[in-house]
Structure 1
């Protein structure tokens, strides 16, 4: 019987000497473990002695002994003094066989409503004309490194331990001053909560304010990430078509039943780029107060306005009564930082914190502490000023290249803000097929139709911030060649 069991290993276990598959003892351990889990070696079955296994497999006895000791320690095998080596008797008789058919797992309705996975990764970000990418090659790394070391020396206990779910107090204080000065946001450290990026803020807001089936007014076209968060919370999306001035509060006033929430990007409408004028801002706020509608202001790239200073936030006009203000550092600093913030009406803070605590407890303290110093020392404002000059130049280069090489193919929508240009096809072609053709040419473009719900759109979104002028020029030429 022992010889027959050893013969199994002679037949299917072939040591791989030197290809990076692990040591021989690791390979033997894995082979026997898999045989037990699959039921090829039955519970209680006797195995050959270590000496016999070593002889039949051409392995050193010490190699076999080490593998067996691991399997005995983990409970796959048992060794009985004077009787020999056995497969553990308390394992299932059939082993742990994979199912014969790959049945779909039973997921919750909320999970089924969640969106599909989006393609990403560093390679996609580095290909022209990827969205959401900034000029990380000119980020002040040396300043950030100095502040990181300085922070760790000064307050290791504060930044390495468990943190406050609201966020580091120093960062919330720094943000209070920065947001008031740069965006006219009405806030205090008590109304700011630090989150793991704007997407987490949108997800938590949706779960805080909405029950399944609640109506939410959204821009059409609009930001897919916001719609994803709403859909995951079971919301019923009510598209409001944007015009040349953006979201129309008159449409909001006509909706019945009254939506519980309106989600919009007033400073730089995503993806088309227009700015909501003051008259509409005031009308929107009046409608929100009159009908008890919450407004979520996603101010994702408000810092980059090229025709003048950034506009006052909608939240500042409201005084923080009905508007929840969401911001992120992914665009102004770097996406890997994974830090964002939300400014909440005071009555919503406790409920938001309960959900935040349940979701991930707290945001890591060390990045928050570095960022707090970065803001307090004035580096954030200086960095944004430098980037505004650089991005204005790159935006101009992209627009000039479009006019030279694609003027009869694409019509750019002029916008005085943001990190991308929306360009519509003059011939109304299938923009998703065009995006695939561009991808095959090594470019990352987003089809405009992807962001629409009911409207028919045909165009491409072209990110420019991460790419030097010469690269933008050659990339437009490649894009035109791919499209033609």
Structure 2
């Protein structure tokens, strides 16, 4: 007769966490699955009765019964009438520790350190050494999170998104997204982008001129990987988007610093520099990080310069949907008549950044090569997410969300500007007309990196601005960015007040 595991074993393994969002039933299932797959239970061993295990764990007997039933259905356990539940030997077949004892890694003294590769010599350009925007992983635990691009649960359309996910899980829909799409994208999402998203920006494209990506990050990496090498010169806004800068540098491109003013890039003033470019990366809708919007005259001048000097523009349509006027600014791509603009957009930035959905619009010849390159990386973005988001767009949920966000962000931006005027009158900022952040210039003596550290100690998170500049000098260190996508309106004024106290303390100690 198979031996039965001592119930006390499970009481020691089970950690009941009141704060956990996982149900007790699922916690018990996870505990049992781990014990089976880790080889801590011999094959065919008998588990405690549901009553005994429930008593030891301090849970209802039905909770254990349901957990056992689910594990029987999944094949981890076998139910034998009048005998109980037993570990299914088939689940451990082929595991290296079926006897119940896991194989041990060699001890530290047994490691062959002499012949191990020296990775720092093999990695020519370590990405981890690049200057990046840094945000605390536990930012939600801070009282005043003035950080950009994060998720606000109070604005998330939970019921609408759940509805679209459930529709995508129907039998008819599963057959559309479950197969390997190889180089293809979800046709319904491409159609929604063509008919719902792009026309608002004045852009019209054929299906073969659009590719879906894992967010704008992958879109930019694909473009840089395909088009750039050590002989490529890329014009880049300064200050500008650090991740884009790092991507182009990672592909060994030569970056040419192009200053921006209150209206973004000034093509007429930069004619000589633009003539040296093969490509130009630009964020005309809301310049990153200054939030400046490029006027229509400059957009036309930039396109004329691209034709005159034979360079291609990579337009990152940064925050184009987050405009308080209700009418998005025309995209550069909408004015392009000569295929001089590669258009990069995001579907998830304003919705849920964790979904990672972006897209590229460009000539079909370019998109075909981007698809072939994407196949080497990830094949395609998750088909299920593509189909669910296509439904989200088709049912009008995305448009309704944008309207709610515009109202909330307008309210928050007004509260932020009023608080800065009241508590930090010595600071200057770009008036907020859209987007979800404010670019702040402090006094000449301010060290924003030190300010961010001091503010974090009192629960205030801001983003030092020096990382946005190509050169980390004294001028760059006086800037910082304050996002308001993830902070409630009523928290903004007290948060700025606390930040101002840190600024004034730095001034006294300067």
Q: Same fold (TM over 0.5)?
A: yes
Q: Which of 427, 433, 437 is the equivalent residue of 1:420? A: 437
- What is the aligned partner in structure 2 of residue 84 from structure 1? none
- What is the aligned partner in structure 2 of residue 173 from structure 1? 191
Query: Partners in 1 of 2:121 and 2:240 — Cα distance?
Result: 31
Q: Which of 484, 487, 490 is the equivalent residue of 1:464? A: 484
Q: Which of 288, 291, 310 is the equivalent residue of 2:306? A: 288
- Given the alignment of the two structures, is residue 380 of structure 1 paired with residue 386 of structure 2, yes or no? no
Alpha carbons of structure 1 residues 171 and 141: separation in structure 2 relative to 1, 3 Å: same
TM-score normalised to the size of structure 2? 0.74
**Alpha-carbon offset, residue 286 of structure 1:** 0.9
Alpha carbons of structure 1 residues 297 and 26: separation in structure 2 relative to 1, 3 Å: same
- What is the aligned partner in structure 2 of residue 322 from structure 1? 340
Query: Is the Cα contact below 8 Å between 1:300 and 1:331 reproduced in 2?
Result: no
Query: Is the Cα contact below 8 Å between 2:39 and 2:99 reproduced in 1?
Result: no
Q: Which of 261, 273, 293 is the equivalent residue of 1:255? A: 273
Query: Partners in 1 of 2:161 and 2:378 — Cα distance?
Result: 26
**Alpha-carbon offset, residue 263 of structure 1:** 0.3
- What is the aligned partner in structure 1 of residue 130 from structure 2? 115
Q: Which of 132, 153, 160 is the equivalent residue of 1:136? A: 153
TM-score normalised to the size of structure 1? 0.78
- Structure 1 segments, 4+ long, off by >6 Å, are 19-23, 71-77
Query: Is the Cα contact below 8 Å between 1:395 and 1:465 reproduced in 2?
Result: no
Gaps of 5+ in 1: 1-16, 30-65, 78-86
Query: Is the Cα contact below 8 Å between 1:446 and 1:460 reproduced in 2?
Result: yes
Query: Is the Cα contact below 8 Å between 2:346 and 2:358 reproduced in 1?
Result: yes
Q: Which of 100, 125, 148 is the equivalent residue of 2:165? A: 148
Alpha carbons of structure 1 residues 392 and 118: separation in structure 2 relative to 1, 3 Å: closer
Q: Which moved more, 1:364-373 or 1:243-252?
A: 243-252
**Alpha-carbon offset, residue 413 of structure 1:** 1.5
- What is the aligned partner in structure 2 of residue 400 from structure 1? 418
Cα offsets for 1:79-127 (capped at 9, x unmatched): xxxxxxxx9xxx9xx9544559994443343546973665446522564
Query: Is the Cα contact below 8 Å between 1:322 and 1:345 reproduced in 2?
Result: no
Query: Is the Cα contact below 8 Å between 1:320 and 1:345 reproduced in 2?
Result: no
- What is the aligned partner in structure 2 of residue 276 from structure 1? 294
Secondary structure of 1:370's aligned partner: helix
- What is the aligned partner in structure 1 of residue 502 from structure 2? 482
Say what the alpha-carbon RMSD is for the aligned residues: 3.3
- What is the aligned partner in structure 2 of residue 449 from structure 1? 466
Query: Partners in 1 of 2:415 and 2:101 — Cα distance?
Result: 66
Q: Which of 124, 130, 144 is the equivalent residue of 2:139? A: 124
Query: Partners in 2 of 1:70 and 1:356 — Cα distance?
Result: 36
Query: Partners in 1 of 2:393 and 2:12 — Cα distance?
Result: 53
Query: Partners in 2 of 1:422 and 1:434 — Cα distance?
Result: 15
Query: Partners in 2 of 1:347 and 1:252 — Cα distance?
Result: 30
Query: Partners in 2 of 1:99 and 1:116 — Cα distance?
Result: 33
Larger radius of gyration: 1
Aligned length: 416
Alpha carbons of structure 1 residues 326 and 404: separation in structure 2 relative to 1, 3 Å: same
Alpha carbons of structure 1 residues 181 and 248: separation in structure 2 relative to 1, 3 Å: same
Q: How does 1:56-205 map to 2 (within 5 A)?
A: 95-98=110-113, 103-111=118-126, 115=130, 119-120=134-135, 122-124=137-139, 127=142, 128-153=145-170, 154-205=172-223
**Alpha-carbon offset, residue 379 of structure 1:** 1.3
Query: Partners in 2 of 1:380 and 1:72 — Cα distance?
Result: 51
Query: Partners in 2 of 1:201 and 1:220 — Cα distance?
Result: 21
Query: Is the Cα contact below 8 Å between 2:413 and 2:432 reproduced in 1?
Result: no
Secondary structure of 1:262's aligned partner: strand
Query: Partners in 1 of 2:354 and 2:308 — Cα distance?
Result: 41
**Alpha-carbon offset, residue 254 of structure 1:** 0.2
Query: Partners in 2 of 1:380 and 1:308 — Cα distance?
Result: 14
Query: Is the Cα contact below 8 Å between 2:286 and 2:435 reproduced in 1?
Result: yes
**Alpha-carbon offset, residue 293 of structure 1:** 0.6
Cα offsets for 1:176-214 (capped at 9, x unmatched): 112333111131221110000000001111111111241
Secondary structure of 2:441's aligned partner: strand
- What is the aligned partner in structure 2 of residue 37 from structure 1? none
